[in-house]
Structure 1
């Protein structure tokens, strides 16, 4: 679909470009107008605050009825792309999920799971495949107040590097919470890190040596695969699908390649959004016992789960399970605070490696997290966040189905839906590169898999996926490529 683009219309409604409307198409004129205006907004050809033509001007310019324009404007208002001001007309507004363009808001030259631009959060593109939630979903008060409070650190605390294990009060708070909710743990069994990826790094450095076999879920967390290879270890993928972890596949591969350890998302798996059943968790622990390997439980999504789910750490008592937590999904990825819970002897080894590679973690960040999660508003905020996720998940699922994509699994909660097609003439990566031209950031399947997947699919962040722009893009891809 070609859309006429003239920069002058940003400042003058009299020079509004004529849209490419086709009366013979199955898509109605209203839907075509919504798609094309949405495209202009996300391309920043229509800037936030720009005044739209009046209903009569728009109708005259495009040779359509005023009734069609009114319905189109109403739909655009519903989508959050327009707002009306009594006596003034219609104006472009900032829809949920549209980042504000900045001088640094450039698109990445190409897609790569480790491209720094994909993590910056400053791109003006729609982050449909991103791993973070919109800041406004958390509520400004709790986080900003926590950051302000953290800056009131006593002067004497600025003289040294801080506690090597991490801020004592935060570890004590985590120990109380975990002991009440999941399993008994002491504050000395908790090591604070710069987020979950730092925790994975410390665990690999401590427990593995080059040539060791490491089991991962396939599909699974993209950065983890690169990290394992970086240390000269051999990643082996264990199938994960809509039914959970394929434990028969694990057994067969353990007989061939006995692993040193395995990373597993028990709850709200990234990217499928599924959780292990109690029976699967029991059998997984039995296999870890049989083949004598460590289980690293990536547990960073548990607080987003709408219902209780199994905990490997609770079932095992931290004998051969190492639990990794983080606050990047429930507060902000900017704070960079994660945690490792493990048996005391392993914590001592992890602490030694932490000191060797980076000394201590930021007490200021850890103080901010403590203040936030100690607040009476935190639980209320989490409940609100889960309700918002439920609403957005349903809306995004409906949109993806409307676009012709099939979900790989039914998510049990959380941030992600993975969906794609059974057949395609092009790969998911090719489609993701094409999406960049429309200022849409997608996460294709090869970010998450060890081996090529003939079925093209993508991980979608439900906070940014219920948009007319995304629907229009996938409709065009489906029409031209499938």
Structure 2
């Protein structure tokens, strides 16, 4: 079967009953057993090998037949139920519900020869490279306040002995959720601790949301440009990303309305404040119109709100305007503390949060209470607010110096940031095969500099060559000396 990650055959057990699919599953770290089972059973249903009303084997039977864990089967069956292909009847099991199947997700393709960008990606996230991380998404520890972080870790390690049993609370460390609920209720919107689910960072939060709310073939709207990992994650789930242009003035809401008349998206992911990579924020008017469109066309809004604490007070908040009815808010502490903690959050309605928690437990059980305790001690310390104020001042000063220096090199911001840690800037000339972000990133890597080129963030083809610069690492002679040697006219 070409272009698939499995070889499907059916074995007959108990008198030839076709309820017993035996799948030749590919095993290994580059494969996903749940995805293989989902696609295989979907195809069997579409080809009428499993007709409507046919009873599926029990979870235990399916697992035994295929030599896999019941955990894997439960997650695969849940995805089939969510897609409408199977129905679950209490006390009776699982049955085929319909035969219409959404387009199968594309097979996972692994490149044998990485491009310049592929080779950069691990270093940009690991922090282990010796190269200057100009394109990184985190700040140096000294900018956060190393003493604050280390003190929080020491407090967290004093965990009571009785907390060393079990996996912890499914929603996450209760004290941290209580503190977050109190802070959010004071500053943005009313929320209860049980409406907050802690995650392994924002990317984990997006993954759980996609697992819960989408199925292969669904349309997911994203900003263009947007967070680089997000586009790959959406495709991994078999969904179709559709880009909505975003520039210095915000989202192109007219283009969005046009797209909504042609497709029926399940959700849209929006960076309301200090958008990555542009550093811009939506106006109150744009946020209200976006909510109105979501209401009119009935889709979820996922608010990526991880830069809120670096923004000026009073910026638009979709969650505050909506009250978590149609909006799901994603938060993180990686930008204001340290990414090493890997603590993020989802705030959602009382009706949706339990299902998100169930998927979290299915996909990986609970999150780290040690990390969550450390974050709690850090953000509840008296000097945390002062640390944030100093950080914002430092970022503002560094950002202005960087913009001024880039201008001297002929580079202009593609949008004027309203704050935060990024400046995206480039040259005005059109890109080509001989002059593009990949080419410059490759040259920078050879010079010991990690850049984040436009291709990381764009769903559409970039018109010109630009990069996302981290304010904390970019204001250095090393980078400026390199950029002086890289000019559009010298690339031809």
TM-score, scaled relative to structure 2:
0.75
In structure 1, what is the equivalent of residue 88 of structure 2?
Answer: none
- 1:15 maps to which residue? none
Which residue of structure 2 aligns with residue 63 of structure 1? none
SS at match of 1:161: coil
Q: Deviations over 1:356-407 (max 9, x none)?
A: 0000000000000000000011001000000100110011111111111111
Deviation at 1:443, TM superposition (A): 0.4
Give the 5 Å matches for 1:28-427: 110-112=116-118, 115-423=121-429, 424=431, 425-427=434-436
Is the Cα–Cα contact under 8 Å of residues 172 and 187 in structure 1 kept in the other structure?
A: yes
State the partner residue of 2:491: 481
Cα deviation per residue 1:208-267 (whole Å; 9 max; x = unaligned)? Answer: 000000000000001000000001000000000010011001001111112100000000
Contact 2:116 2:438 in 1 (8 A): no
Change (3 A) 1:366 1:197: same
**Runs (5+) with no aligned partner, structure 2:** 1-113
Of the three residues 434, 440, 444, the one matched with 1:435 is 444
Q: CA deviation at 1:475?
A: 1.5
- Kindly state the Cα deviation for residue 275 of structure 1 after the two structures are TM-superposed: 0.1
Classify the secondary structure of the residue corresponding to 2:463.
coil
CA offsets, 1:120-142, max 9 Å, x none? 11211111111010110111221
Q: Is the partner of 2:116 in helix, strand or coil?
A: coil
Q: Is the 8 A contact 2:120 2:450 kept in 1?
A: no
Give, in whole Å, the separation in 2 of the partners of 1:317 and 1:166: 22
Identify the residue that residue 72 of structure 2 maps to in structure 1.
Answer: none
Residue-by-residue CA offset, 1:267-319 (whole Å, 9 max, x unaligned)? 00000000000000000000000000000000000001134201000000000
* RMSD of aligned residue pairs (Cα, Å): 1.3
Q: Specify the SS of the correspondent of 2:371.
A: helix
In the TM superposition, residue 453 of structure 1 has moved relative to its aligned partner by: 1.0
1:439-454 paired onto structure 2 within 5 Å: 439-454=448-463
Counterpart Cα distance in 2 of 1:455 and 1:118: 22
Provide the C-alpha distance between the structure 2 equivalents of 1:445 and 1:244, rounded to a whole number of angstroms.
18
Q: 2:68 — aligned with what?
A: none
Any conservation in 2 of the 1:262–1:294 contact (CA below 8 Å)?
Answer: yes
Match of 2:407, SS state, is: helix
How far does residue 114 in structure 1 lie from its aligned partner after superposition?
A: 7.9
1:463 to 465, 469, 472: 472
Q: CA deviation at 1:117?
A: 2.4
- Kindly provide the CA deviation profile for residues 42-61 of structure 1, in whole angstroms up to 9, marking residues without a partner as x: xxxxxxxxxxxxxxxxxxxx
C-alpha displacement of 1:451: 1.9
Q: Is this contact kept in 2: 1:212–1:234, CA < 8 A?
A: yes
Measured against aligned partners, the alpha-carbon deviations of 1:309-367 in whole angstroms (never above 9, x if no partner) come to 01000000000000000000000000000010000111010001000000000000000
Q: How far apart are residue 111 of structure 1 and its match? A: 2.2
Checking the alignment, whether the CA contact within 8 Å between 1:214 and 1:234 is kept in structure 2 is yes
Bigger drift between 382-391 and 111-120 goes to 111-120
Contact 2:134/2:470 (8 A) holds in 1? yes
Separation (CA, whole Å) in 2 of partners of 1:325 and 1:411? 20
Secondary structure, aligned partner of 1:240: strand
Q: Is the 8 Å Cα contact of residues 114 and 223 (structure 1) preserved in structure 2?
A: no
SS in 1 for 2:158: coil
| CA contact 1:404–1:475 (8 Å) conserved in 2 | no
2:66 maps to none
Tell me, yes or no, if the aligned pair for 2:302 and 2:329 is still in contact at 8 Å: yes
Q: CA deviation at 1:113?
A: 8.3
Long gaps (5+) in structure 1: 1-107
Q: Indicate conservation of the 8 Å contact 2:257/2:293, yes or no.
A: yes
Instruction: Provide the rounded CA distance (Å) in 2 between the counterparts of 1:255 and 1:396.
Output: 42
Deviations 1:189-211 (A, max 9, x none): 00000000000000000000000
Q: Distance in 1 between matches of 2:407 and 2:344?
A: 35
Cα deviation 1:58-84 (Å, max 9, x = unaligned): xxxxxxxxxxxxxxxxxxxxxxxxxxx
Is the Cα–Cα contact under 8 Å of residues 420 and 456 in structure 1 kept in the other structure? yes
- Structure 2: how far apart are the matches of 1:132 and 1:169? 26
The answer to whether the 8 Å contact 1:113/1:222 transfers is no
Q: CA deviation at 1:118?
A: 2.0
Instruction: Give the number of aligned pairs.
Output: 375
Equivalent-residue separation in structure 2 for 1:238 and 1:309 (angstroms):
21
SS in 1 for 2:397: helix
